[in-house]
């Protein structure tokens, strides 16, 4: 409804302008221009057309500008996009919303009179502007331009673009699309690097500088793509896919220099971000300045503030340092290997010498011990000698004392001998007499003397003395001891019978037949001894009583 009214309004305005132009041009003295030929250079009109004219375009353009300027001044609101403040007479930007856009401009005097803070109006800013349409008619050498001439402006807040960007960021994050790239392993020393950047941009030089700084000189595959218009995102996405399809490409750098948010908006494209998230190779992003953060920065494996840093991130290893470290490692390995062998060889050599050294050590020890032994022996001998000398002295002294004692003893003996010599003969004589007397007395009591006179002793079988008849009968067998030997007899109890001979030829005596006193022996018909033994000898020599 509003659109149709707007369209009819525009149509009415156009008709009015055309009528005015016609009137003005007609007033210039050419009322019937359509019927005249072009004698003054003006061409004839289109045959059969009922439209007025033809009119010179410059005159029409001026009329158009006047008509636009006569339109009522209004206030409009929208987001600032593609803001350009180049220090010229005017500042330019576009005012956009979802329904459409207007190119806007403001005279510098008017703009500065607004006293807007630096940076308060920029891409994405939501603003309200006051002004009206204007038209620059151009000339033979310059292009015309339509603009909405801004006289006043108020910043209304952050734009919908940023809000939209934020919503998309949250959506991609919720889907986990920020993670896959960061999980990809990044080679520390890629041989081939793909680069997506604008053709002839400064980013290219920065990337080369970064790679030089790393000492990296491998293979670079450039994929040039537009980096800021509406074609940029699809072309960048295609370039990334093609680079990732090359098997030798190990990492891709996407770089773009600084710019407005609108310039960088291509790098917030949802499709591009989803493409990057699914790539097999890690993507290092460097989009705009460090204050800008596009969605591609979030999705990429690494986000860097400048293309130079992006190049360094693509080659994490400093090649020069790595070469130095590697040669150091090689040297250490060489040293370790050599040392492992040489040290052991030395140890072996030492071990080979060890037995001889062991023997030599023992020999030295032995010599030392021998020396100590000799010294000890000498010392000991000296001590023994001293001790011997002391003992000798003691012995000598004792010998002297003994000699002295001996002399004293000898003197005493001599003295005693003298005494004995003096007392000897008288004593001997007296003692001989006493002895003789005692011998006589003793002989008088000797039983043998009694036996020699014809008596006999009766002994039992065990040699005990039988002193009575009852004992003799009880013993049964007795021996009679005479001065010249013994006779065995058996005691007979019967009277008047001759006693038989015993087994050994001895006679049996009946005690009852014998006179009780004095004892008499019977004659011996057989050998006189009753037992083997020494031959009978003279009684005093054979058996002697006590």
Partner 1 sequence: MTDEERTYEQAAARIEAIIRRLDSGETGLRETLDLVREGRELVEFCASELEAVGRGLEELELDALIARLEGPNT
Residues 143-202 that bind partner 1 (CB under 8 A): 185, 187-191, 194
Q: Which of 19, 46, 278, 333 binds partner 1 (CB under 8 A)?
A: 333
Both structure tokens of 171: 């959506």
C-beta of 103: minimal distance to partner 1 in Å? Answer: 34
Nearer to partner 1, 81 or 249 (CB): 249
| Contact criterion met (CB below 8 Å) for 475 and 460 | yes
Residues 461-490 that bind partner 1 (CB under 8 A): none
Stretch that binds partner 1, among 108-116, 313-321, 384-392, 421-429 (CB under 8 A): 313-321
Quick one: DSSP state of residue 352? H
Q: Which of 19, 28, 74, 326 binds partner 1 (CB under 8 A)?
A: 326
Contact string (CB under 8 A) for partner 1, positions 200-219, x = contact: --------x--x---xxxxx
Q: Which of 322, 511, 514, 519 binds partner 1 (CB under 8 A)?
A: 322
| Contact criterion met (CB below 8 Å) for 131 and 270 | no
Q: Which of 233, 236, 239, 281 binds partner 1 (CB under 8 A)?
A: 239
| Contact criterion met (CB below 8 Å) for 197 and 227 | yes
C-beta of 188: minimal distance to partner 1 in Å? Answer: 5
Nearer to partner 1, 336 or 429 (CB): 336
C-alpha 164: how far from its chain's center? Answer: 54
45 binds partner 1 (CB under 8 A): no
C-alpha 542: how far from its chain's center? Answer: 116
Residue that is written with structure tokens 């403040």 in the block: 85
Nearer to partner 1, 352 or 494 (CB): 352
Stretch that binds partner 1, among 52-60, 118-126, 338-346, 385-393 (CB under 8 A): 338-346
C-beta of 295: minimal distance to partner 1 in Å? Answer: 23
Question: How far, in Å, CA of 165 to CA of 200, rounded?
Answer: 29
323 binds partner 1 (CB under 8 A): yes
Q: Which helix (H) or strand (E) holds 486?
A: strand 485-492
Question: How far, in Å, CA of 83 to CA of 105, rounded?
Answer: 10
Q: Which of 341, 392, 412, 537 binds partner 1 (CB under 8 A)?
A: 341
Question: How far, in Å, CA of 81 to CA of 103, rounded?
Answer: 10
Nearer to partner 1, 325 or 360 (CB): 325
C-beta of 326: minimal distance to partner 1 in Å? Answer: 5
C-beta of 255: minimal distance to partner 1 in Å? Answer: 15
Q: Which of 113, 330, 381, 428 binds partner 1 (CB under 8 A)?
A: 330
| Contact criterion met (CB below 8 Å) for 273 and 295 | yes
Nearer to partner 1, 107 or 222 (CB): 222
Nearer to partner 1, 207 or 478 (CB): 207
**143: CB partners within 8 A, 6+ apart:** none
C-beta of 266: minimal distance to partner 1 in Å? Answer: 18
Question: How far, in Å, CA of 369 to CA of 174, rounded?
Answer: 92
Q: What is the 3-state secondary structure (H, E, C) of 59-76?
A: HHHHHHHHHHHCCCCEEE
Nearer to partner 1, 224 or 477 (CB): 224
Q: Which of 68, 127, 243, 251 binds partner 1 (CB under 8 A)?
A: 243
Stretch that binds partner 1, among 40-48, 320-328, 399-407, 512-520 (CB under 8 A): 320-328
Between the alpha carbon of residue 383 and those of residues 1, 373, 389, 390, 397, the distances in Å are 147, 15, 10, 10, 21
346 binds partner 1 (CB under 8 A): no
Nearer to partner 1, 214 or 481 (CB): 214
Nearer to partner 1, 220 or 519 (CB): 220
Question: Applying CB under 8 A, what is the total number of residues that bind partner 1?
Answer: 40
Residues 80-119 that bind partner 1 (CB under 8 A): none
Q: Which helix (H) or strand (E) holds 221?
A: strand 219-224
- Strands across the sheet with 485-492, in order? 457-459, 477-482, 485-492, 508-510
Tell me: cis bond preceding 285? Omega within 30 of 0 counts: no
C-beta of 325: minimal distance to partner 1 in Å? Answer: 8
253 binds partner 1 (CB under 8 A): no
C-beta of 212: minimal distance to partner 1 in Å? Answer: 8
Radius of gyration of the chain (CA): 83
350 binds partner 1 (CB under 8 A): no
| Contact criterion met (CB below 8 Å) for 439 and 504 | no
Cβ burial, residue 232 (10 Å; 0-12/13-18/19+): buried
- Torsion (CA) 77, 80, 86, 89 in degrees, nearest 10: -10
Q: Is 545 helix (H, G, I), strand (E, B) or coil?
A: coil
Nearer to partner 1, 189 or 386 (CB): 189
232 binds partner 1 (CB under 8 A): no
Question: How far, in Å, CA of 227 to CA of 198, rounded?
Answer: 6
Both structure tokens of 75: 């206030």
Nearer to partner 1, 255 or 488 (CB): 255
| Contact criterion met (CB below 8 Å) for 122 and 79 | no
332 binds partner 1 (CB under 8 A): yes
Nearer to partner 1, 33 or 225 (CB): 225
340 binds partner 1 (CB under 8 A): yes
Question: How far, in Å, CA of 529 to CA of 484, rounded?
Answer: 10
Question: How far, in Å, CA of 526 to CA of 487, rounded?
Answer: 11
Cβ burial, residue 161 (10 Å; 0-12/13-18/19+): buried
C-beta of 323: minimal distance to partner 1 in Å? Answer: 6
Binding footprint of partner 1 on the chain (CB under 8 A) = 185, 187-191, 194, 208, 211, 215-224, 239, 242-243, 246, 315, 317, 319, 322-323, 325-326, 329-330, 332-334, 336-337, 340-341, 344
């Amino acid at each position: 409804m509003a659109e149709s009214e707007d369209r009819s309004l525009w149509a009415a305005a156009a008709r009015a302008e055309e009528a005015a132009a016609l009137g003005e041009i007609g007033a210039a003295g050419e009322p019937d221009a359509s019927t005249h030929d072009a004698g003054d250079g003006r061409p004839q009109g289109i045959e059969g057309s009922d439209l007025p004219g033809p009119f010179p375009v410059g005159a029409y353009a001026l009329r158009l500008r006047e008509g636009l300027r006569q339109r009522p001044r209004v206030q409009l609101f929208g987001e600032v996009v593609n803001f350009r403040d180049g220090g010229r007479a005017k500042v330019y930007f576009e005012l956009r919303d979802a329904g459409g856009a207007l190119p806007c401009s403001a005279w510098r005097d008017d703009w500065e009179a607004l006293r807007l803070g630096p940076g308060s109006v920029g891409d994405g800013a939501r603003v309200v502007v006051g002004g009206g349409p204007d038209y620059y008619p151009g000339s033979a050498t310059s292009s015309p331009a339509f603009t909405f001439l801004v006289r006043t402006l108020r910043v209304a807040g952050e734009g919908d673009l940023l809000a939209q960007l934020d919503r998309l960021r949250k959506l991609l994050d919720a889907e986990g699309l920020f993670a896959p790239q960061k999980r990809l392993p990044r080679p520390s020393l890629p041989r081939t690097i793909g680069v997506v950047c604008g053709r002839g941009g400064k980013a290219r030089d920065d990337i080369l500088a970064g790679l030089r700084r790393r000492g990296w000189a491998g293979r670079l595959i450039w994929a040039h793509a537009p980096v800021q218009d509406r074609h940029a995102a699809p072309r960048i996405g295609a370039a990334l896919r093609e680079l990732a399809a090359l098997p030798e490409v190990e990492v891709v750098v996407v770089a773009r220099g600084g710019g407005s948010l609108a310039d960088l908006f291509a790098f917030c494209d949802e499709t591009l971000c989803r493409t990057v998230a699914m790539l097999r190779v890690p993507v290092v992003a460097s989009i705009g300045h460090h204050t800008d953060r596009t969605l591609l920065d979030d999705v990429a494996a690494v986000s860097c503030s400048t293309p130079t840093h992006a190049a360094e991130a693509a080659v994490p290893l400093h090649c020069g340092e790595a070469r130095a470290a590697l040669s150091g490692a090689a040297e250490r390995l060489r040293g370790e290997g050599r040392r492992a062998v040489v040290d052991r060889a030395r140890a072996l050599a030492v071990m080979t010498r060890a037995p001889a050294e062991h023997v030599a050590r023992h020999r030295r020890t032995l010599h030392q011990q021998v020396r100590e032994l000799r010294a000890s022996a000498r010392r000991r001998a000296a001590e023994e000698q001293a001790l011997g000398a002391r003992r000798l002295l003691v012995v000598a002294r004792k010998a002297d004392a003994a000699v002295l004692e001996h002399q004293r003893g000898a003197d005493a003996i001599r003295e005693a001998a003298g005494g004995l010599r003096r007392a000897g003969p008288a004593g001997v004589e007296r003692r001989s007499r006493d002895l003789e007397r005692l011998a006589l007395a003793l002989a008088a009591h000797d039983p043998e003397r009694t036996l020699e006179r014809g008596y006999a002793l009766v002994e039992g079988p065990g040699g005990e003395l039988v002193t009575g008849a009852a004992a003799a009968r009880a013993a049964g067998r007795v021996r009679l001891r005479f001065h010249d030997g013994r006779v065995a007899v058996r005691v007979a109890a019967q009277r008047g019978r001759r006693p038989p001979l015993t087994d050994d030829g001895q006679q049996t005596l009946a005690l009852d037949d014998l006179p009780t006193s004095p004892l008499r022996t019977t004659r011996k018909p057989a050998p006189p001894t009753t037992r083997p033994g020494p031959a009978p000898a003279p009684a005093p020599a054979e058996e002697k009583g006590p």
